[in-house]
Structure 1
């Protein structure tokens, strides 16, 4: 931005609050010698904007101070307000990746209402009729929606209900046991499946992986020393599930293609979040002075620094296995970053 020397001095004085302005004689017009270039100030604090959801085509963000959310396209940068999705006084609102949805219910009770899902990337909506004897959860994939069926004893059977592009309209999930309804929680999910916690018949708090493709629920062994899922940092990557006991520098990774295939990865710090991105484990040290973000190869090797600084607002995972966070290369340059696996398997960090 170019201004005359007088305007430049005025801007500088107003910005810094030092020095008094004095009148200057009028000039015929600025010349090259009278011009001053003012560089933009660096961002010394992280953005307070959060990524709420991230899909393969864009992210759902909020406008700080405005309170409204919108979807932003990766392809062309367009910003679209989230679709109006009325849920009624007793319904629920949900989101995953590029899609927002709502179940419409105008009365309380356990009877499900119709579920509308809107793809922000394409602008297309679809509505699923309320399934008889089922209740919707807030978890869905590009082809199915997770629902529950409760018996007289208050235990659940899980069902995957097919969307318009899925010919299988009701698939019963194979699980080791029926799940108590009052101890059932979907903790995180992506396009391939979900991590679920529940209390087993033996009274044990259990962490299990639901695979959408095979419609199976598989309990996972907790890391050594962890007695319940609440003391475990867990995440879903496109290739791996990561589990790490709070306060430990050892993370266990299980292959999503075959849970019998595991890796043990040493993280640079026992604190913060971990998330598998491709064949790398990304760690955000949210308790260190630098708040550094590092990546460690799953098959062994030295950690590499992705970002020297990061925001304490945490790390968000995308449905395609990417990771999102506010960070910077130093203490004066901040932006929102997306960490993805590159074509060669190496991690890539882009603004």
Structure 2
């Protein structure tokens, strides 16, 4: 049975235990191909189980004891999460149902990266390219790395995985980035939101697009001077930006970042997440922990 995108968001809200969801009137339509309805687990009370990541085939959940695990959407099976903590300098990465483990011989020396697909059990290991260092970010086809120059500034590179014929693509960026200010804030399969210190000394928010290998600076919402005071999120169609304490969210189209909308949330509190062509707003201050879905198309900014 087909479900509207509002119901899909409601199912997600229930599955994550973030309260009841309401939707403002909007034209219902068929669910997009990249949307997934996740049925809630059977329970009488909302589940408050933490979710560390989700992909098309399952989610990474947390236990009160025993550590995180991956749960299949298809058959409900639980799979222990790949354990990366085997060395003093190792680090772990995660995207949806895939876990990456980097084996570092020292704090500053990059090592081989093994990616574990929790759904299939398949692993893939990438040797670190000469002169490159892994970041904590990857996609289904590439891993983000950087090259450091003599002034401790980085050039970003997308290193191709087994299913990607392009093995080293240089990211086009507006300026060189000081390595000590580079920070990957949030990621999905299409790209990442990154902050860094610009040449002017300001903290800058930028969108990395994997398909085009470009890093584009994003203008902050009106009244915001630092990304640290902005609620931002990535969705399949929109990047959502909202100044903390404001009711107005500014979605930007990922297909064309010059296309913006203005969406008024019912509360200045909580978090905003772009989901398909909706913005899902959670009010942490409400006694019901209420969640509202608003159409991201909103009204064009004038």
**TM-score after normalising by structure 2:** 0.82
Aligned to 1:285: 283
Query: Alpha-carbon deviations, 1:185-224, whole Å to 9, x = none?
Result: 0000000000000010111110000000000000000000
The alpha carbon displacement at 1:105 in A equals 1.6
1:174 is aligned to 2:172:
yes
The CA distance in 1 between the partners of 2:296 and 2:252, in whole Å, is 10
Aligned to 2:132: 134
1:213 to 211, 214, 217: 211
1:294 is aligned to 2:289:
no
The alpha carbon displacement at 1:291 in A equals 1.5
Gaps of 5+ in 1: 1-40, 302-351
Q: Go from structure 1 to structure 2 and tell me whether the alpha carbon gap of 1:206 and 1:286 turns closer, same or farther (over 3 Å shift).
A: same
Q: What does 1:192-211 align with in structure 2 at a 5 Å threshold?
A: 192-211=190-209
- Flag the structure with larger Rg: 1
Aligned to 2:26: none
Query: Alpha-carbon deviations, 1:217-239, whole Å to 9, x = none?
Result: 00000000001000100000000
Aligned to 1:68: 67
The alpha carbon displacement at 1:85 in A equals 3.6
Q: What does 1:53-92 align with in structure 2 at a 5 Å threshold?
A: 53-64=53-64, 66-85=65-84, 87-92=86-91
Q: What does 1:104-253 align with in structure 2 at a 5 Å threshold?
A: 104-108=103-107, 110-253=108-251
Secondary structure class of the residue paired with 1:259: coil
The CA distance in 2 between the partners of 1:85 and 1:205, in whole Å, is 32
The alpha carbon displacement at 1:56 in A equals 1.0
List, as ranges, runs of 4+ consecutive aligned residues in structure 1 with deviation greater than 6 Å: none
Aligned to 1:93: 92
The alpha carbon displacement at 1:143 in A equals 0.2
The CA distance in 1 between the partners of 2:298 and 2:175, in whole Å, is 37
The alpha carbon displacement at 1:254 in A equals 0.4
- Residue pair 1:87, 1:102 contacting (<8 A) in 2 also: no
Pairs aligned (count): 258
RMSD: 1.6
Gaps of 5+ in 2: 1-42
Secondary structure class of the residue paired with 1:230: helix
The alpha carbon displacement at 1:83 in A equals 2.3
Secondary structure class of the residue paired with 2:228: helix
**TM-score after normalising by structure 1:** 0.71
The alpha carbon displacement at 1:47 in A equals 3.6
The CA distance in 2 between the partners of 1:160 and 1:96, in whole Å, is 16
Query: Alpha-carbon deviations, 1:91-135, whole Å to 9, x = none?
Result: 211111010111102333x22100000000111000000211111
The alpha carbon displacement at 1:48 in A equals 3.9
